[in-house]
Amino acid sequence: MSPPPRMPLVLRIALIVAVMAAIFAVDTTTRYEVAAAVFYAVVILTTARLLGRRALVALCAACVVLTVASLVFTPHGDLRSGLINMGISVAAIVMTTWLVLKMETARAAAHEAQAQLLRIARIKSLEGLTTSIAHEVNQPLAAIVTSGNACQRWLAQEPPNLERARQALERILADAGRASGIIARVRSLTRGEPPQRSAFDFNDAVQEVLALSQAGMEINHIALTVELADGLPPALADRVQVQQVVGNLLLNAMEALGPVPAAARRLRVESARDGEAILFTVTDSGVGIVPGMSEHLFDAFWTTKDEGIGVGLSISRAIIEANGGRIWAEPVVQDGAVFHFRLPAAGAEPRP
């Protein structure tokens, strides 16, 4: 169900002016003892999100002027009570304006802090992928050098072996394409673009992240099992953001496997259809979830890592929920942990 259309800005301003005029009329025509001007504070509260700082200050000044004018034009009542009520009304208007301005400043600071946390989390995630990325890029580069040397040898023969040289050049082009693809995947994971929900192949997105993590798993002797369900409908979410969450869950699982003997390091990645949604699961045989820890796992700045900053899972939850999904964790019966998240499907028929 779509949200109701918002009232046009001009109409809202006209309504505010009408309300202020009504307050002025009531405050002027009633006795001094009636402090109707205090309702100008309500007007300021309701218009806080529509106006900038200068416009809000100007509105405050206008409300104060109208309050004083009401006192001047009020025809009857106890003047002393009127002065007291005017002072109370002016104080309420000024204090409300000050509080609103402070609140808007705090909200802007909170948005900036959130953006900064996203940048920090992205950098920390990249630190964990550095070894894997270097290994992945080094492989096609080393192959390019080998094929280049071979090509030189084939061309140096008498007569030159053009067929073998052509084959070596084809290998160079293919390996250069591999290196370019790796760099493109890394760039897609580090872009700080606003969320753009669209339909995409969920399994392909997961495979791209796994390709970046593969070398790190091999270096750390982690046995990886991948079970991606066939026939999944397209996911409806921001592809890059979802890949960031997948990468973060994989990194967390790899770190949890660090203290475990190499022979027992197992990691399973799964995707499945769950009604009208897609379910993603990462299971590890690591140190597991300590009792009482699960309720804090997704809290900002809460971490059990010596060098952690405690924002990875918090931001992952924010990303998944912003894309209409849910993320949660649960311990494994023996050792290890399981992390799940669900994302809405695009509603298309499952692919064959």
Q: Where are the domains of the chain?
A: 9-114, 122-190, 198-344
pLDDT number for residue 349: 45
Burial per residue of 201-220, b for 16 or more beta-carbon CB atoms within 10 angstroms, e otherwise? ebbebbebbbebbebbbeeb
**CA–CA gap between residue 266 and residue 268 (Å, rounded):** 7
User: What phi and psi, each to the nearest 5 degrees, are found at residue 193?
Assistant: -85, 155
Q: How far is CA 122 from the centre of its chain?
A: 11
pLDDT number for residue 235: 94
pLDDT digit string (tens) for the chain, length 352 residues: 444 455 566 777 788 788 888 888 887 887 777 777 888 888 888 777 777 778 888 888 888 888 888 888 877 777 787 788 888 888 888 888 888 888 777 777 777 766 666 665 555 555 555 555 665 566 677 778 888 888 888 888 888 888 888 888 888 887 787 777 667 655 655 555 556 788 999 999 999 888 877 777 888 888 999 999 998 999 999 887 888 888 888 888 888 888 888 888 999 999 999 888 999 999 988 877 665 565 556 654 444 444 443 446 777 787 888 888 998 887 766 678 888 999 999 874 444 4
Q: Looking at the domain 198-344, which fold is it? A: Heat Shock Protein 90 (3.30.565)
CA-based torsion, 158, 160, 164, 170: positive or negative: positive
**260 secondary structure, DSSP code:** S
pLDDT number for residue 224: 92
pLDDT number for residue 350: 41
**CA–CA gap between residue 172 and residue 229 (Å, rounded):** 34
**CA–CA gap between residue 180 and residue 188 (Å, rounded):** 12
Token pair of 314, please? 């918090």
Q: What is the CATH number of domain 122-190?
A: 1.10.287
Q: Which residues pair with 236 in a beta bridge?
A: 199
